[in-house]
């Protein structure tokens, strides 16, 4: 099976490892270990280490002054997808998106890229804006929460690695998500 993933972040040589970077690299490696071809599309121009034969396409974006994370997420996602077209060959069987930013990229790819048009979108999220605080008290948090809700509802399947995340998706966004406690189990569930 050919799987393409989209994420704002991927581990970089010389940079501290974030939770999201760890998740993307670990899940990609687990899928590759199951015998699948995995391509990850991300942004940035730093050196990317080779993890277990996972192909990583890193799109360098022009640096701009974005007023907030929401406008950055939407603008950068459009730029990544517009620039990936000539770097990806063939069709994919599954799309895996990480967090809402990756899901925006995946939705754009499914709508505009021939390699992804008939592909199922699987979203993996570490947490929701509600878990990170009360979004009603901050305009940026409120904007992120509204984008998260819309984006996650557009995906075919949504997964959370914590029960609290799955509960928030159901209670705050009315989204049915699956709780999958380990990365290896998540890899198996995604390719079923």
Identify the CATH homologous superfamily for domain 2-190.
Glycogen Phosphorylase B; (3.40.50.2000)
**Tens digit of pLDDT for each residue in 155-189?**
999 999 999 999 999 999 999 999 999 999 999 99
What is the model's pTM? 0.91
Which pLDDT score, from 0 to 100, does residue 65 have?
Answer: 64
Closest residue by Cα to residue 58 from 110, 112, 13: 13
- Whether 135 shows a pLDDT value over 80: the answer reads no
Which pLDDT score, from 0 to 100, does residue 72 have?
Answer: 74
Q: What are phi and psi for residue 115, nearest 5 degrees?
A: -70, -15
Q: How far apart are alpha carbons 37 and 68 in whole angstroms?
A: 35
Residue 86 is encoded by which pair of tokens? Answer: 């000539």
**Tens digit of pLDDT for each residue in 20-42?**
999 999 999 999 999 999 999 99
Phi-psi region at 60: left, alpha or beta (left = phi > 0; alpha = psi -120 to 50): beta
Which pLDDT score, from 0 to 100, does residue 61 have?
Answer: 77
- Whether 142 shows a pLDDT value over 80: the answer reads yes
Closest residue by Cα to residue 158 from 103, 77, 91, 116: 103
**Tens digit of pLDDT for each residue in 53-76?**
899 988 887 666 666 777 777 787
Which pLDDT score, from 0 to 100, does residue 185 have?
Answer: 97
Q: Is residue 114 classed as helix, strand or coil in its secondary structure?
A: coil
User: Cα 114–120–125 angle (5° rounding)?
Assistant: 120
- Secondary structure string (H, E, C) spanning 27-87: HHHHHHHCCCEEEEEEECCCCCCCCCCCEEEEECCCCCCCCCHHHHHHHHHHHHHHHHHHH
Residue 72 is encoded by which pair of tokens? Answer: 């950055």
> Cα separations (Å) of 2 from 39, 83, 101?
8, 20, 21
**Tens digit of pLDDT for each residue in 72-119?**
777 878 888 888 878 888 999 999 999 999 999 999 999 999 999 999
Q: How far apart are alpha carbons 127 and 28 in whole angstroms?
A: 19
């Amino acid at each position: 099976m050919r799987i393409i993933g989209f994420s704002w972040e991927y581990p970089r040589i010389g940079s501290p490892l974030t939770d999201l970077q760890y998740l993307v690299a670990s899940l990609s490696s687990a899928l590759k270990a199951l015998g699948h071809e995995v391509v990850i599309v991300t942004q940035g121009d730093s050196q990317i280490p080779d993890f277990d034969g996972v192909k990583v396409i890193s799109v360098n974006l022009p640096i701009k002054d974005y007023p907030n994370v929401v406008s950055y997420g939407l603008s950068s996602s459009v730029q990544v997808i517009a620039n990936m077209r000539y770097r990806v060959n063939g069709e994919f069987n599954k799309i895996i998106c990480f967090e809402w930013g990756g899901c925006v990229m995946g939705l754009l790819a499914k709508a505009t890229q021939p390699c992804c048009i008939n592909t199922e979108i699987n979203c993996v999220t570490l947490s929701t804006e509600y878990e990170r605080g009360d979004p009603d008290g901050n305009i940026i948090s409120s904007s992120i929460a509204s984008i998260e809700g819309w984006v996650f509802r557009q995906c075919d399947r949504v997964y959370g690695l914590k029960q609290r995340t799955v509960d928030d998706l159901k209670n705050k966004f009315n989204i049915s998500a699956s709780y999958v406690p380990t990365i290896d189990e998540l890899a198996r569930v995604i390719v079923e």
